[in-house]
Amino acid sequence: MTELSPVSSAISVARAAPARGSLRELIQLATPLVLTQLSQILMGIVDAAFVGRLGAAELGAVAFANIWSWMIFALFFGAASVVQTFVAQSHGAGDEKQCGAWAWQGLWAVAPATALAAIAAYFAAPFLLSHVGNPAEMVGPSIAYAQPSAIGFAALGVVFVWNGFFRGIGDMRTPLIIGVIANLANGIGGYALIFGHFGAPRLGVAGAALATAASEFLYAGLLILAASRPRILARYDTRPRWPERAAFLRLSRTGLPIGGQWVFDAASFAVFTLILASMGAASVAASHSFIMLVNVSFMLALGVSGATQTLVGRAIGAREPELVVVALKNGMRVALAVSVALAIALTAVPELLMRIFTNDPGVLALGVSVLRLGAIFQLLDAAHIVAMGALRGAGDTRWPFLWQTALAWGVFVPLAWFFGVRMGYGLDGAYVGGVIYVALLAGGLLWRFASGKWREMRI
């Protein structure tokens, strides 16, 4: 084999490694993340499509159970997500051995608490879901779904930590490959257990939850194996280690505001769902279908946001603040371009998209109407998600927590009730409150970034 000349080698390296701060660098990092998120939302859509064939009550029950379950676990998952920031900043500073240490400290901080919460949620689900305004026809299916899925949430704490590690070091492909494997297992298992195919029992919504829980444990196990590969072990020192008090406090100081933000946001959405539930199961089912479709934009924006967070963390660690601004601008350009494309689809063929989930005439009518609002909603949401990623990469987590919490409870919930119930505009009116909320949220986060406070952050 002919050996490459020094000039050819330099050209090859230049092609493989995009210029730091370039749009190409962001796209290279974001693409596997976006594909990971899309594989997750695709499996969510498949699950919703399967459950939707059981009936509107079952589809609404799964949405209801998921919202309340997420509210319980959001604190742990939000706190775990900060591992990405610590790893990225250590990586940017050239301290690669510390990257593995941050992953293990994050695991100690999150995994035991998540496991205990999973056990508590399993036993509390029947009481909780029977006394929170759940429509009578949705109580049984929501409990049947919530209990098995609670056990799967225990594994998700591990998933968040190790995903944060890989993303922090810039390895977006490993979580992508493992995520696709886990999602395929979820899809096949859900099809078998929901409808009783391949010799499996027909378990309905409980089957959907069992398949998802099993895939989450598979996801966690494969991530741990990937982090134990000799090359990763040698470079990033991913060997197990005991918890350290100083590291725990640093992670908690930056991570708990993210967890708190996720909890209060989830709680506001749970109350929002109660408002919808007062309108009937069809409104909850239509809203769930709407969310699954808008989640395509949401997951794409999350992928771009994750890449932005990593690039910002690297730039902070390398003491190159000018690249922080470039990372946000490039992230906004990519996320908004994708959101515009989806907005066109949501307004052009809303009924076709809604029929993915249901053929119920009442649910279809409600969903088609609200999808037009979804086009605006997801554009604003993309801006807020990318801005949030940039602030988190810099370690600025407290102010966004306070801002989002104030808006969720001072704007989102009251306006959803006012327009949806008091003014009688139903599902459309409730989501008008959501559009106003996300517009204010995005504007506030962009103002915070422009203020330059992130330049003073030290984690």
Tell me the three state secondary structure of residue 356.
coil
According to the model, what pLDDT value does residue 437 have?
A: 96
Q: How many whole angstroms from its chain centre is CA 397?
A: 17
pLDDT over 50 at 4, yes or no: no
- Which band of pLDDT confidence, cut at 50, 70 and 90, is reported for residue 13? very low
**Residue (of 56, 206, 66, 54) closest to 135 by Cα position:** 56
**Cα distance between residue 311 and residue 20, in whole Å:** 9
pLDDT over 50 at 400, yes or no: yes
According to the model, what pLDDT value does residue 134 have?
A: 65
**Residue (of 167, 178, 168) closest to 224 by Cα position:** 178
Looking up tokens 């594909």 gives 35
Q: The tokens of 72 are what? A: 């319980």
Task: Name which residue leads in pLDDT, 432 or 130.
Answer: 432
Q: What is the mean pLDDT of the chain?
A: 87
**Cα distance between residue 35 and residue 33, in whole Å:** 5
- Which band of pLDDT confidence, cut at 50, 70 and 90, is reported for residue 368? confident
pLDDT digit string, tens, across residues 148-198: 888 888 898 999 999 999 999 999 999 999 999 998 999 899 999 999 999
pLDDT digit string, tens, across residues 403-440: 999 999 999 999 999 999 888 888 889 989 999 999 99
Tell me the three state secondary structure of residue 102.
helix
Q: What is the DSSP letter of 55?
A: -
Q: The tokens of 94 are what? A: 């050239």
162, 227 contact by CB (below 8 A) = yes
According to the model, what pLDDT value does residue 11 have?
A: 37
